[in-house]
Structure 1
């Protein structure tokens, strides 16, 4: 997987802590909690971990029909996931929320692991640096970023453009999710992301630091809900979550 499972699990658990921070320290659990995973991938890993650990329901979107079919097959082959994971196609690769979120649909969190690089060339160069740093610089040309698929590795404008576009789209449907989040691997992209959030007038922004071995990353989370709206959302959705 790209990145490995421990990093994926960390994101899910930190997301649970984020929801708990908005719920008096109690993690909302069960099928009343709905999470949107942008770029669910062939492995469907975030929904698997999130449903197994907390009982959450998931909507997983992807632009790659092959990856989406693989994710659907995983759901179909596991009774515990049936009825709890909805895999939806994203028909427009330039869109993130638009075309996936249905009118009136409400989520408790949106999550995504954006592509790192702005192009195939940048992704290949990044892989060479990684293999060299690991003492594996000699030999045949490396596999891109240790096996990630194209849509997982690069996006026009890279990670910063992806997250800034997510901020812009979330601003258009601000009450569709309690929290919007993105995993940010490159610290140099943070100023641009924060600027976009300022322009979007997010009510609250949090940055949650993460680390797995030598890899450091962070989750940037934002909400457009006022304190009053947050309280109403908790009462409507989380009071029943156990």
Structure 2
């Protein structure tokens, strides 16, 4: 028997509970259905020779269920077939780095509790960001989406987990061309916004990217891939793609300069940063940050901006 070693994923945020290899024994104990998807790992010499097939959407969803039970005390989580099933470690990183950004204007202390409210643009059917943010820091959230079915599924998740009922509210965006309009009311004050924007500019572009991704995971070429992480049209693409969506977000954000401490969004394509910075400077953002993140071989980042000066930031009450 080979000695058991512990491999730490040092690229993840130091507070991310997923920095170490999955403890499949514990995960299966909490979510027995995961056992049906366990397979041998032929590509590692590390401490565990078991894994799941990450090209199988049912396996990925079962792993998410197990992680949510084990780390976030979330029971009966589920999403409809073909909806986006997010990789939880990467989503957790975004939340923990936002906590660091908030701490910078709070005497180095991460603000906690339900008075810290976040706005999740495109909450999807999975409700992952609000779940992690509430579990890790006690934050409250408003989750928005243009998809009524996604909102309804989030309602089911919340109802099945009573601790979320007072912490997460949901709002349907009835005009898909807008992001903050119809959502941010005059009396609202959000500590941050969070967003995983659609990557692609068309359904064709999204399908091509998915084919490449799944072929890489399966090591077998296919022209009709099964979406391992799923995704509806609104989750995967929009007119103008990522840069179009974020540009619209920036212009709209300038209409709510005093109501949000930090606007943030993921940026998957590094080449979009130059245009994003240019637009942020055009609308008068006072401070802009780019936070780099990494999960395994994948690198990503989010951009954060505020219209508040340093004094206003420090006087923000959570």
TM-score by length of 1: 0.93
Evaluate the alpha carbon distance shift between residue 122 and residue 145 of structure 1 in structure 2; reply closer, same or farther with a 3 A threshold.
farther
Instruction: Write the mapping of 1:19-30 to structure 2, written as runs, cut at 5 A.
Output: 19-30=102-113
**Cα offset, 1:99, TM superposition:** 0.9
1:48, 1:183 → 2: CA distance?
18
Runs of 4 or more, structure 1, over 2 Å off, are 131-140, 143-146
Aligned to 1:68: 151
TM-score by length of 2: 0.71
Evaluate the alpha carbon distance shift between residue 119 and residue 145 of structure 1 in structure 2; reply closer, same or farther with a 3 A threshold.
farther
**Cα offset, 1:140, TM superposition:** 5.3
Residue 224 in structure 1 maps to residue 307 in structure 2: yes
Question: Which of residues 159, 174, 188 in structure 2 aligns to 1:91?
Answer: 174
1:146, 1:137 → 2: CA distance?
18
Aligned to 2:139: 56
1:225, 1:185 → 2: CA distance?
26
2:251, 2:223 → 1: CA distance?
41
Q: Once superposed, what is the RMSD of the aligned Cα atoms?
A: 1.3
Count the aligned residue pairs: 235
* SS of corresponding position for 1:97: coil
Give per-residue Cα distances to partners, 1:54-108, cap 9 Å, x unaligned. 0001000000000000001111111110111001000011111001111221100
Any stretches of 5+ residues in structure 2 without a counterpart?
1-83
Any stretches of 5+ residues in structure 1 without a counterpart?
none
Question: Which of residues 120, 133, 138 in structure 1 aligns to 2:216?
Answer: 133
Q: Which has the higher contact order (CA 8 A, sep 6+)?
A: 1
Question: Which of residues 226, 230, 248 in structure 2 aligns to 1:165?
Answer: 248
**Cα offset, 1:213, TM superposition:** 1.2
Residue 40 in structure 1 maps to residue 123 in structure 2: yes
1:78, 1:100 → 2: CA distance?
25
Aligned to 1:205: 288
